Chain A
Amino acid sequence: MSINRRAFLERSGLGLGWVAANWLGQRAQAAPPAAAKTLPASAKAVISLFMHGGPSHIELFDPKPALNRLHGQLVPASFGHVQLQFSKFNESPVLGSKRTFQRHGQAGIEMSDLLPNLAHHADKLAVIKSMYHDGFTHTAALNFLNNGWPRLGRPSVGSWVVYGLGSESDSLPAFVVMLEGGIKSGPEVWSSGFLPAVYQGTTLRQGPSPILNLKRPESMTSASQRQWLDELKWFNERHREPRREDSALDARIASYELAFRMQSTAPELADLSKESAATRALYGMDDPRTADFGARCLMARRLVERGVRFVQLWSGNTTGGEDWDGHKQCDANHQRMAAKTDKPIAGLLEDLAKRGLLDSTLVVWGGEFGRTPTSDGSMNGGGDSLGRDHNPYGFTIWLAGGGVKGGKVIGRTDEIGLRQIEDGVHVHDLHASILALLGLDHTKLTFPYQGRDFRLTDVHGSTALVPRLRT
C-alpha cells in the first residue's frame, strides 16, 4: 500500500476492517463517504440464503386456514384484484395448503412441517411476514431483491456492502457467490454495476474443486512467483496509468494480488474433509438429498470465519434442475426443495451459534417473492395443476444473527396471504435495514455516477425496523 493511500485511509477514519484496501480500492475516489459508516454496527458479515424461484410463505411460515375453507372457489371480491404473471387473479380458484403448522420456540413462531429442523432455531429468527414489492416477474424481482432496482445496471447489495465496509480478509474475495446451477436472470445480480469493478461478486464452481488453478507451476516457488508478480504489477500499473478512469484495470491488478494470496488460503478453505464427521452431519452432508446444499452452507460458514464479508448461496437450478418456482404441484415441489435445504440451514445456524459467529453474522433467508393463494393452473390434481403463481405483494423472509434478536414475528398478511397488511417492509426497507445492522447509513452510502450520487435504496428505504430487530 502506498504511503498516500494509507494516509488517506487513516484520515478518513476507515482504519482497520479495511485491511484489504490495497487490493480493494486502489484509488481514493473508490472509497465510500466517511459519513456512511457512522451507525452502530452489530453485524460484520452477511450470509444470504437465496431460495430461487420464490418460496411459498403459505406452505412455510404463514398459515392461512381460510384457504382450505375457500379451496376451489374464486377469491371473494372483497380482496380486490392484483396483477399476476401467469394467471388471472380474479379468475383463479383458491388453493388450500396441505401443510400442518405448529408453534415453535419460546416465542411460538409458526412454521410448517416442511421445516422440522429450522423449527429448533425459532428463537434465533426474526420472521418478517410483510415483505412486498411490485416486480411479479423473476428477472425484475431478482434484480429488485439483489440490486434494489428492477432493471439492469445497478450494483448488487453485496457490492454495496463491500464498498462500504471493505474486506476483513486479504486472501479471499470479499463477496462470494455459490450457485446451484442456472438462474432466471444473470450475473447482474452479483455485479458491481457502476461501482468499481473490484466490488463484484466472485462465483465459486460447484463440486469438489470450487476454485481452480490454486497450485503454482512447478517452476515457481512462492518467492519467485512473488517476484514475478511484482514485475507483472509494475508493467500493468504502467499500462493503467494513462487509463485511470477504467476501474476494470484496477480490479485486474488487484485480482492478481488476491489470487496470489488465495493460493495459500483457498486450498485449505475448500477442503471440507477437515471438518469433523459430526459437523458434516450437522449440515446434512451425509445424506445425498442434503449433501449439495449442505456443502454450500458449510462453505459459507468457512468463508465468513475467514473474513469474507458477503456470501450468497443459492438454492435452485433452472437449467436441468429444480427451483422453488412452484407453478405446478407447488406442495410436492416445496417438499423436495425444503428437504434439500431445511437441515443444512438449521445446521448452519447451529454451527454459527456454537462458534460464536452468529452474533456478528447476519443470515438472511428468502426468495424473489412469495406465492399466490390462488391456483396457477387447473385444480384437477394432474402434473400441471395445483400450482401457485408469483406473489410480490406479501411474502416472508427471515433474518437471524448479526445483532438481530430472534424469536419474533414482524408484520402480517391478509386472511388469504395475498397482501401484507401490517408493518409492511418494502425491499428498500430491508436493504436499508441490512446496511444499518452493518453500521452503514443507506442515505449516506453513495457513489457518484452520471452526475448524481446513487445509493442502494435510491430515494427510498426506511430503517424504522432496525430497533425492533435488535430488541
Chain B
Amino acid sequence: MLRMLLALSLAPAATSAQNATPESAARRIIEAKCVSCHGASKMAGLDLRQRPAMLTGGARGAAIVPGKPEDSLLYRAVKRDGDVKMPPGKAALGPEEIDAIRAWIAAGAPWTGEAKSAPSWWSFRKIIRPPVPAGSASSPIDRYINTALSKAGLAAAPPADRRTLIRRLSFNLHGLPPDPADVDRFLNDKDPQAYEKLIDRLLESPRYGERWGRHWLDVIRYADTGGFETDVLLANAWRYRDYVIRSFNNDKPFDTFVKEQIAADEIWPDNLDLAGAYEMPKSKAANLERRLGTSLYSLGALPVEFTFFGDQWRAEWQAEAVETTAAAFLGLTFNCARCHDHKFDPISQKDYYRLSAVFAGSEDREVPIVSQMGIFEYTRHQAKVVAADQLKRRLQLLDAAVRERQKSLPKGAKLDYTPEERDQRESLLRQLGEAYMKAPTLYAKANLLVHTAPVPDTHVLAGGEFKQKGERVTPGFPASLGPAPAIDEPADTQWFIPRRRKALAEWLTSRDHPLLARVMVNRIWGWHFGQGLVATPNDFGRQGDAPSHPELLDWLAAELIENGWSLKKLHRQILLSDAYQRSSQAVPASLAKDSENRLLWRMNRRRLEAEEIRDNILATSGALNAKMFGEPVVPELSREEMDGMRDPSQWPITADPAEHDRRSVYLFVKRSFRNPMMEVFNSPDASASCARREESTVAPQSLAMMNGEFLTKSAARFAARLKKDAGPDPAAQVDHAWRLALGRPPDAEEQRRALAYLPNAGLDKLCLLVLNLSEMIYVD
C-alpha cells in the first residue's frame, strides 16, 4: 500500500484530459512518458519531438500514420497490442491515456512546434531546493519525515537513550565500539550540547576515515588483485585506499574528490613530470596526492589474458571504466548499453560509447612517485640487485645439472644431491639471502591515469565486441541527463592532449547536474540509516526504487552543494535530526503499517558489517593495532580455510604478527578468494560496484564465531585484558567485560548468571560467550 502511495505521488501525468484538445492531451502524454527515450536520445532511432520525425519513425518504421491509429506503431505499442510494448519495464498507460493517443492520431495527429524534451524521469530533472514543510521540529530533515509520517498515520518511536546513542554513533562513524570511559563521560555530560560535541569529536577522529573510506571502497569495487583466473596482484592499489581514507578524514569537498578521481592529471596538470624533480616540491606532492585518486581506474576486475590483444584489453578497460563511473557517480546501470540501447532507461548505446570515448587516450600506468633522488638511490645500488640475480642463476644452474644427471627420474620426483652439491647449494642459498638483504628496495610507485598519444578513435562496438566497429563517436554525455557542455577539441584529434575526463568531472560536479549530489546524499543517508531514501543506491533509473522522501532527497542534495560539498556537514545535519536519534524499538501500529520502516518511524536496527565485526572483536579484546595506512595485511589462515584458494602462493602472509591485528580496512582483498571470516559475514565480492551489503544469517557464521581460531584467540586475549584491568574479582571482571563489549554494565540478572557460569567454565569461555552475544553484532 505504501509503495502505491509513493508511486502515485510521483506520477505527474495521471490527470485526466478534460478540456484539452486532442493535440494537447497527446502532447502531455508523449512529453511525460515517451520523449525521455524517444527524444534527444533517439532510442531505436525514434524521435517523437517533431511531426516529421514521427512520420519517418525509427528502426521499426513510421511511428504514426495520421488518421489511422490501428496502423500506427505508437498506438499499438502503448496499447501493448503486438510485439512492441511501451513504455518498457513499467506500468502500461492508463485506458484514458491510450484513448487520447488514439483520438489524436485519428484526428490527423496535428502537432505544432517541438515537444519539450525536459527529462520526465524524476532523477534526471534538475535539483530544485524544495520548500521546507511547516512543523515544530527544528531540523528541516525532521519536518519532511514527520510530514510523511503524519500523512501515513504512523507514530514515531521515542528518542533513544544516551547509551544507545553513543554506541550507535560510534559504530556508525568509526565502525568501532565506544570506549567505556567515553560512554561514562557522555552519560554524565550536563552540557546541552553534549550530543553535538560527541558528533564533532567522532568526526574529527582518524577512525572516521577508516570506516567511511571503506563505504566508498565498496562503491568503487576496491580490491588488491585483478580477479579472474590470473588474479594478478595490483601492488599499488593500497595507495588509493589510503588516499580515500585521507580524503574522508580531511573532509575533502566531495566535488573535489570526484574531480581528482576522474581527472586529477587533467585539472591540475603541472605535476606530470615527476621524474624531473630533484626534490619533491610541496605543490607537486599535493598534486601527486590528487592524482592517486585516478588509481580508481586501475582497480577493476580484468582478466589479464586480454593483454595479449591490445584492442581487446582497451575495450574491456574502457567498458569497466564506463560502468564503474556510471554506477559510482551517476547511480545508473550502463552495462546493458554496451551492446544495445538500454531497454528501460534513456541511455542509448551511442551514449555508452560517447562516455567510453572520454577514457580513450587515457591509460592506467605504473609510475614512480618519488623524486629523482629516490630513483637515483635505487639505480646507484642496482648492481647489487644484479648480483643477487646472478646468485639465483647459479643455483638454478646447479639444480639443472643435477636434474640432467637424473633425467630418468619421473617428473616431480625429488632430486638426489651428492653431499658436495648439498653443501654448495646451502652456501649459495645463504649468499643469496645475504645478497637479497643488501639489495636496494625498489622506489615507490603508483598506478595512475596518464595520456597516450595519439588519441584513438572511439566507435560504437556492435554487441560490445572490440572487432565489430560501428559508427565513430565523439566524447560526450547522455542527452537525457540535460544540457551538457560540448567537449571542444581540434579537428585533427591525432595530436593533442585531451581534456575529456576533465570535462566529465566538471559536468558531473556542476551545480546543475541532476544526479551526482542526489546519488551521494542517498548513499550517505543509507550508510547512516541502513537504507537509502532510494533503496537502490546504484540504480536511480526506472528499474530502481522510487524515493521514499523525494523532497528530502532533493533538499539534502541542494544542501550538500550549498555547503561546499562538505560531507562532514552533511553528517552533522543528519546525525542531529530526531529521526536519527529515535529508538529502534517497534511501535506495533507503525510496524503493522510500514514493516520495512520506509518512512523512518524508528531507527533501523543494524547488523554490523564484516569489517566491523572483526574490528569490534579486536577492540573489545584489547588487541586492535591502530596503525594506519600502508601495504595490505595478509593474515594467516587455517589449512581448511586455504582449501578454497587456487594458488596458495598468492597469499603472501605478512611477517609481523602485530600487523595481523590491524583494522579490517587494511586487510588484503583478493578477488578470487575472499577472506572466509569476511565472506561469511557478507563482504562484497569486488567484481563490480557494491551499493549495499547483504545481511545473511546462517549457521556457518555461528560456526566461525563458536569455533574459529580468530574467536578463540580473541577470547583468550579478552580474558587476559580483564584480569589485567579488573583484577582477580569475578564480579569486577564481569562488569568490565560488559562495559568493554557492550558499552553498559550487566544488569543484576545477567551479572548473577555470568557469575554462576564463570567458576566452572573459566574466564576464557565467558569471554567467548560475550563475543558471541547478539548485542555484540547488532546495534540498536
> In whole angstroms, how far apart are the Cα atoms of A377 and B465 in the complex?
9
Q: Please tell me which one of the listed residues A186, A249, A382 contacts residue B778 in the complex, with CB atoms under 8 A apart.
A: A249
Does the CB pair A259–B463 fall under 8 Å? no
Which chain B positions have C-beta within 8 A of A245?
586, 591, 595
Which chain A positions have C-beta within 8 A of B704?
212-213
Cβ of B473 under 8 Å from chain A: no
> In whole angstroms, how far apart are the Cα atoms of A325 and B18 in the complex?
50
Which residues 498-526 in B have Cβ within 8 Å of A in the complex? Answer: none
Cβ of A85 under 8 Å from chain B: yes
Cβ of A200 under 8 Å from chain B: yes
Cβ of A214 under 8 Å from chain B: yes
Interface size class of A (residues with CB under 8 A): 35 or more
Does the CB pair B83–A81 fall under 8 Å? yes
Does the CB pair A243–B703 fall under 8 Å? no
Residue of B nearest to A136 (CB): B343
Does the CB pair B769–A228 fall under 8 Å? yes
Shortest C-beta distance, B180 to chain A (Å), equals: 19
Residue of B nearest to A449 (CB): B595
Residue of B nearest to A86 (CB): B339
Shortest C-beta distance, B135 to chain A (Å), equals: 27
Cβ of A451 under 8 Å from chain B: yes
Known contacts A235-B773, A246-B605, A384-B468; is-contact A217 B696 (Cβ 8 Å): no
Does the CB pair B227–A88 fall under 8 Å? no
Which chain A positions have C-beta within 8 A of B696?
187, 191, 197, 200
Which residues 198-222 in A have Cβ within 8 Å of B in the complex? Answer: 198, 200, 202-203, 205-209, 211-217, 219-220
Q: Please tell me which one of the listed residues B82, B465, B605 contacts residue A384 in the complex, with CB atoms under 8 A apart.
A: B465
Which chain A positions have C-beta within 8 A of B697?
197-198, 200, 248, 251-252, 255
Does the CB pair A211–B703 fall under 8 Å? yes
Cβ of B260 under 8 Å from chain A: no
Known contacts A212-B676, A377-B465, A384-B467; is-contact A451 B607 (Cβ 8 Å): no
Q: Please tell me which one of the listed residues A86, A187, A194 contacts residue B694 in the complex, with CB atoms under 8 A apart.
A: A187
Which residues 146-174 in A have Cβ within 8 Å of B in the complex? Answer: 151, 173
Most buried by B among A82, A191, A245: A245
Q: Please tell me which one of the listed residues B2, B463, B640, B702 contacts residue A256 in the complex, with CB atoms under 8 A apart.
A: B702
Known contacts A81-B83, A319-B227; is-contact A219 B641 (Cβ 8 Å): no
Digitize A403-447: 1 where CB-to-B-CB distance is under 8 Å, 0 elsewhere.
Answer: 000000000000000000000000000000000000000000000
Which chain A positions have C-beta within 8 A of B749?
238
Q: Please tell me which one of the listed residues A87, A186, A206, A235 contacts residue B769 in the complex, with CB atoms under 8 A apart.
A: A235
Which residues 729-769 in B have Cβ within 8 Å of A in the complex? Answer: 749-750, 753, 757, 761-762, 764-765, 768-769
Which chain B positions have C-beta within 8 A of A450?
1-3, 594-596
Which residues 250-282 in B have Cβ within 8 Å of A in the complex? Answer: none
Does the CB pair A236–B703 fall under 8 Å? no
Digitize A74-108: 1 where CB-to-B-CB distance is under 8 Å, 0 elsewhere.
Answer: 00000011110111100000000000000000000
Known contacts A227-B761, A228-B765, A262-B699; is-contact A83 B83 (Cβ 8 Å): yes
Shortest C-beta distance, B79 to chain A (Å), equals: 16
Most buried by A among B343, B701, B703, B775: B703
Segment among B385-393, B481-489, B566-574, B705-713 that sits at the interface with chain A: B705-713
Cβ of B340 under 8 Å from chain A: yes
Which chain B positions have C-beta within 8 A of A116?
none
Residue of B nearest to A229 (CB): B706
Shortest C-beta distance, B69 to chain A (Å), equals: 20
Which residues 228-269 in A have Cβ within 8 Å of B in the complex? Answer: 228-229, 231-232, 234-236, 238-240, 242-246, 248-249, 251-253, 255-256, 258-260, 262-263
Cβ of B401 under 8 Å from chain A: no
Shortest C-beta distance, A99 to chain B (Å), equals: 24
Cβ of B52 under 8 Å from chain A: no
> In whole angstroms, how far apart are the Cα atoms of A244 and B447 in the complex?
50
Residue of A nearest to B716 (CB): A219
Cβ of B643 under 8 Å from chain A: yes
Cβ of B577 under 8 Å from chain A: no
Q: Please tell me which one of the listed residues B59, B84, B301, B695 contacts residue A83 in the complex, with CB atoms under 8 A apart.
A: B84
Shortest C-beta distance, A23 to chain B (Å), equals: 9
Digitize B642-672: 1 where CB-to-A-CB distance is under 8 Å, 0 elsewhere.
Answer: 0110000000000000000000000000011
> In whole angstroms, how far apart are the Cα atoms of A170 and B227 in the complex?
38
Digitize B607-623: 1 where CB-to-A-CB distance is under 8 Å, 0 elsewhere.
Answer: 10000000000000000
Which residues 58-77 in B have Cβ within 8 Å of A in the complex? Answer: 59
Which chain A positions have C-beta within 8 A of B708?
212-213
Residue of B nearest to A237 (CB): B774
Which chain A positions have C-beta within 8 A of B676?
205, 212
Cβ of B496 under 8 Å from chain A: no
Most buried by A among B227, B343, B584: B343
Residue of B nearest to A384 (CB): B465
Residue of B nearest to A134 (CB): B85
> In whole angstroms, how far apart are the Cα atoms of A85 and B680 in the complex?
34
Which chain B positions have C-beta within 8 A of A215?
707
Which chain A positions have C-beta within 8 A of B638?
212
Q: Please tell me which one of the listed residues A206, A219, A239 contacts residue B764 in the complex, with CB atoms under 8 A apart.
A: A219
Digitize B672-710: 1 where CB-to-A-CB distance is under 8 Å, 0 elsewhere.
Answer: 100010001010010100000011111111111011100
Shortest C-beta distance, A247 to chain B (Å), equals: 9
Does the CB pair B463–A213 fall under 8 Å? no
Cβ of B229 under 8 Å from chain A: yes
> In whole angstroms, how far apart are the Cα atoms of A426 and B508 in the complex?
44
Q: Please tell me which one of the listed residues B340, B462, B700, B765 contacts residue A224 in the complex, with CB atoms under 8 A apart.
A: B765
> In whole angstroms, how far apart are the Cα atoms of A88 and B671 in the complex?
35
Which chain A positions have C-beta within 8 A of B764?
219
Which chain B positions have C-beta within 8 A of A197?
696-697
Cβ of B772 under 8 Å from chain A: yes
Q: Please tell me which one of the listed residues B343, B643, B706 contacts residue A207 in the complex, with CB atoms under 8 A apart.
A: B643
Residue of A nearest to B340 (CB): A86
Known contacts A224-B765, A249-B778, A255-B701; is-contact A88 B59 (Cβ 8 Å): yes
Which chain A positions have C-beta within 8 A of B339?
85-86
Cβ of A335 under 8 Å from chain B: no
List 29 A–B pairs whose Cβ atoms lie within 8 Å, in order of A's numbering. A182-B687, A197-B697, A200-B696, A200-B697, A202-B699, A205-B643, A209-B643, A213-B700, A213-B704, A213-B707, A224-B765, A228-B768, A232-B773, A243-B605, A244-B586, A248-B695, A252-B774, A255-B698, A255-B702, A258-B699, A263-B707, A319-B672, A319-B687, A320-B229, A376-B463, A377-B462, A377-B465, A450-B2, A451-B592
* Interface residues in chain B, defined as those with a beta carbon under 8 Å from any beta carbon in chain A: 1-3, 59, 82-85, 227-229, 231, 301, 303, 336, 339-340, 343, 462-463, 465, 467-468, 543, 584-586, 591-596, 605, 607, 638, 640-641, 643-644, 671-672, 676, 680, 682, 685, 687, 694-704, 706-708, 712, 749-750, 753, 757, 761-762, 764-765, 768-769, 772-775, 778
Given A83-B83, A219-B764, A232-B769, 17 more pairs with CB closer than 8 A: A81-B82, A83-B84, A187-B682, A197-B696, A197-B697, A202-B700, A212-B700, A212-B704, A215-B707, A229-B706, A231-B761, A231-B769, A243-B586, A248-B607, A319-B687, A384-B463, A450-B594
